Amino acid sequence: QPPAQLPHILTITKIQRPDHFRSILRVTPSTFDQLVAKLSPDPVFHNQGSYEQQPVEIQLAVTLYRFGHYGNAAGHSSVACWAGLGHGTVSLMTRRVMTAILRPHFMSSAVRFPTAEEKEAAKSWVEARSCKAWRDGWCFVDGTLVPLYDRPHWYGESYFDRKCNYSLNIQ
């Protein structure tokens, strides 16, 4: 088994190659540090057991890596190998991070829903630039690619995207 990449990412790449750090964990080093600072006080990361938890920095990195990948790369085995952890630890860390993120006090400070005026402006923009029937839609208006598991049988080459995957382009 190859050595874990996570320690290198958090100690070397984060400082010397922030662009690589961002491509691996999908956030900038400063955003990562802010998230660690905001999440660290949460009680889910503090236990009274005989075994200490991994630092919040490691738990968040594992979760972000997992969420930034799909298919086999996001599987427990791949993430565990990348981080040098056990399969069950990957699930446990992800659960802890999501528990902390979904707490009302974190959500209210980190997520802001649009105001009525902002919603109306977005609806007007969609109506002016696309189909009027989509005015009240709420999903994917930016050309998001939704990956497919496999090449479709009929006209499969039409589904091949610029990222070398088979996907649907949501308009």
- Pick left, alpha or beta for residue 155 (phi over 0 → left; psi -120 to 50 → alpha; otherwise beta): left
> What pLDDT tens digit does each residue of the chain (171 aa) get?
779 999 999 999 999 999 999 999 999 999 999 999 999 999 999 988 888 999 999 999 999 999 999 878 888 999 999 999 999 999 999 999 999 999 999 999 988 888 999 999 989 988 898 878 878 876 655 678 888 988 999 999 999 998 899 998 876
Q: SS3 of 145, please?
A: strand
The CA distances from residue 33 to 14, 28, 53, 61, in Å, are 10, 9, 18, 11
Task: Tell me, rounded to whole angstroms, the distance of Cα 63 from its chain centroid.
Answer: 8
Whether 6 contacts 84, CB under 8 Å: yes
Residue 142: per-residue pLDDT: 66
Residue 48: per-residue pLDDT: 82
Residue 60: per-residue pLDDT: 99
Residue 141: per-residue pLDDT: 56
Q: pTM of the full predicted structure?
A: 0.74
Go through the chain and tell me how many residues it has: 171
Residue 14: per-residue pLDDT: 98
Residue 94: per-residue pLDDT: 97
